[in-house]
Structure 1
Amino acid sequence: MKRIALLGECMIELNGAPFGAMEQTYGGDSLNTAVYLARCAGQSINIDYISALGTDAISDGMLSRWQQEGVGTHYVLRDAQRQPGLYLIQLDDQGERTFLYWRNQSAARYMLQHPKFDKVSTHLKQVDWVYLSGISIAILPQEDRQQLIDLLAELTQSGVKVAFDSNYRPALWESVEQAQRCYQQIFSFTDLALVTNDDEEALWGDSCEEATLARLQQAGVRKAVVKMGAKGNFYQDFSTDDRMFIATNPVQTVIDTTSAGDSFNAGFLAGVLTEKDPIECSQQGHRLAGTVIQHKGAIIPHVATQDIDFNQAQ
């Protein structure tokens, strides 16, 4: 059985209209992926989430709910001095969202400075895959970013594979150049890059998926997925130059695109970790994301995903 550790931040989510009706839940790109990975992989994969929370009641509640989802939480650090971050989602009539964040003093931001992070580092040497995103790196203080990148590079030397979703958020970076430098280092040892065409255009100025794939290959990425939203995705294995496009079935009613990419990543990774081929991995990701965007919030009700047949051909 494969073991994967997903690293990042989960925040308290408020979903609704300012000064109007609000729903409180939780979400964060890497945690979203961990939850959906647990839902579609069942007991076939060991899943650990790596992060930090406070010791407050909301942190306790979040931890309990992750455990109920089947996500391992033994390496979620607890920080008595800090709490989870907070974000507010506002939706327009087309399901597109805007965000407001309060995360500068979140526990997850300082997880590498936690006195027990050395135990996390030791554990990561025992897993098959580590998954993280651009946000996982961007939220950290500058001095901690390089520490994490160096740790990941060390892990790959001992056989651990890295999956990286670039998930570029300009507001989290001091400059475009700084984000590019960090990403270039990570790409040099990335086994599977999961990127989105819009993010790659914003960060690198890529004009098309061919430009993105060529740049990722030059950077040292082994395999890459370029997500194209409702169109589908490109996949390329750079060791064989095997490139393909996998279309997705259109979703007629889009309620909320939050977590679309995160859930696709979960479906794709579940396929990789259970040794499915790239077409099956992509179709699995599309089916999961297509369900998620028909509901509000980052983590949709469990009942909404339990009837997805991941063995069904698209």
Structure 2
Amino acid sequence: MDVVTFGEAMVMFIANEVGPLHSVRCFSRSLAGAEVNTAIGFARLGLKSGWVSKVGDDIFGKYIIQHLQQENVNIDQVMIDKKFPTGFQLKSKVMNGDPEVQYFRKGSAASHLSIDDFDEAYFRSARHLHMTGIPLALSNSMREFAKHVQSFMKMEGKTVSFDPNLRPSLWKSHKEMRKVINKIAFESDFVLPGIQEGEFLTGFTQPSDIASFYLERGVKLVVVKLGSEGAFYKSHNEEGYVNSYKVSKVIDTVGAGDGFAVGLVSGLLEGIPVREAVLRGNAIGALAVQSAGDSDGYPTRTELEQFIKHSVGRE
């Protein structure tokens, strides 16, 4: 495989009408979960991606497996748990801004992923590991699994990318979140915080200072996502800003950061210049915000090339 990742997938019910969730009558079903979003995104670009997790022995679990099979994501290490259920979430429909999301995930099958479920040969078969900070918050066993996987991949000489993907509501305290997230970030090759995440995690407000905070601790490349302003990248050899793409209408921002990770990491794995990889990340992020589902807007290779070729607003 080119990329492997792990985490929790949830069935997502998206409101068909604008308004608070408690007033919505009809929903459409989709799939959610940061890591599964990236696995789908990589697969659509033609990379061989794998996703590791647990799902319940229920209709939601069956839906997730079926959906990933259709997306050509490797699910050889997706385990079916007969004791615990698959998580799900509800997401509101909005005309502007971020939607309201309510989770039903506590005690889910995925949260019981542990080191006992680690398959050495499976992870060794991938050349890159993509991680987010979400599994670190779901349970102690999942956090230990994450640490073990990262350590193993580093020892095997693989590269590791890390998107903090902060979810304060899942943590006991901000202090714990900052400490645990940064510890994993320091052991990663590529770190991809949003600007507000970077400010929280480092105490700095400028993208260059946020990047330097991680570079001084062993990270090779830091890319700070700036939303509609594009992104800033910095390594030990180069740095710069890359403008965003103009979007006529933003439908839903959820999934844009995961799409950015897909563009950036796929570019780095293919050996294109860092600046071009960041531009690819911006492109997929722009496509993502124009659809309601988390990964619905992720492009195929041809769709991505056409978007970059014909879009205005790029450098």
**TM-score, with length taken from structure 1:** 0.89
Structure 2 match to 1:167:
165
For 2:35, which of 30, 39, 43 is the aligned residue?
30
Check whether the contact 1:49–1:71 (CA below 8 A) recurs between aligned residues: yes
Cα deviation, residue 301, structure 1: 6.2
- Looking at structure 1, the residues matched to 252 and 206 of structure 2 have their Cα atoms a distance apart, in angstroms, of 26
Q: Would you say 1:58 and 2:43 are equivalent positions?
A: no
1:267-282 correspondence runs (5 A): 267-282=263-278
- Looking at structure 2, the residues matched to 308 and 135 of structure 1 have their Cα atoms a distance apart, in angstroms, of 27
- Looking at structure 2, the residues matched to 164 and 123 of structure 1 have their Cα atoms a distance apart, in angstroms, of 20
SS of 1:97's equivalent in the other structure is: coil
Cα deviation, residue 85, structure 1: 1.0
What are the superposed Cα offsets for residues 82-131 of structure 1, whole Å, 9 maximum, x if unpaired?
A: 22211111243314222111111111111116x5x132x44212321111
**Against the structure 1 CA distance between its residues 88 and 52, is the aligned structure 2 distance closer, same or farther, given a 3 Å change threshold?**
same
Structure 2 match to 1:125:
124
Check whether the contact 1:176–1:203 (CA below 8 A) recurs between aligned residues: no
Q: Would you say 1:231 and 2:229 are equivalent positions?
A: yes
Check whether the contact 1:187–1:220 (CA below 8 A) recurs between aligned residues: no
RMSD between aligned residues: 2.2
Unaligned runs of 5+ in 2: none
1:133-148 correspondence runs (5 A): 133-139=132-138, 141-148=139-146
SS of 2:101's equivalent in the other structure is: strand
1:191-202 correspondence runs (5 A): 191-202=189-200
Unaligned runs of 5+ in 1: none
For 2:90, which of 85, 88, 91 is the aligned residue?
88
For 1:21, which of 23, 26, 35 is the aligned residue?
26
Cα deviation, residue 69, structure 1: 0.9
- Looking at structure 1, the residues matched to 10 and 141 of structure 2 have their Cα atoms a distance apart, in angstroms, of 22
Check whether the contact 1:77–1:111 (CA below 8 A) recurs between aligned residues: no
Percent of matched pairs sharing the same residue: 24
Cα deviation, residue 147, structure 1: 4.5
Structure 2 match to 1:219:
217
Structure 2 match to 1:178:
176
Matched to 1:220, the amino acid is G
Structure 1 match to 2:6:
7
Matched to 2:89, the amino acid is Y
- Looking at structure 2, the residues matched to 138 and 184 of structure 1 have their Cα atoms a distance apart, in angstroms, of 13
Structure 2 match to 1:299:
295
Structure 2 match to 1:284:
280
Structure 1 match to 2:257:
261
- Looking at structure 2, the residues matched to 312 and 90 of structure 1 have their Cα atoms a distance apart, in angstroms, of 30
Cα deviation, residue 247, structure 1: 0.6
Structure 1 match to 2:100:
98
Matched to 2:128, the amino acid is W
For 2:208, which of 210, 223, 226 is the aligned residue?
210
**Against the structure 1 CA distance between its residues 202 and 118, is the aligned structure 2 distance closer, same or farther, given a 3 Å change threshold?**
closer
Matched to 1:129, the amino acid is H
Task: Give the paired residue count.
Answer: 304
**Against the structure 1 CA distance between its residues 99 and 203, is the aligned structure 2 distance closer, same or farther, given a 3 Å change threshold?**
farther
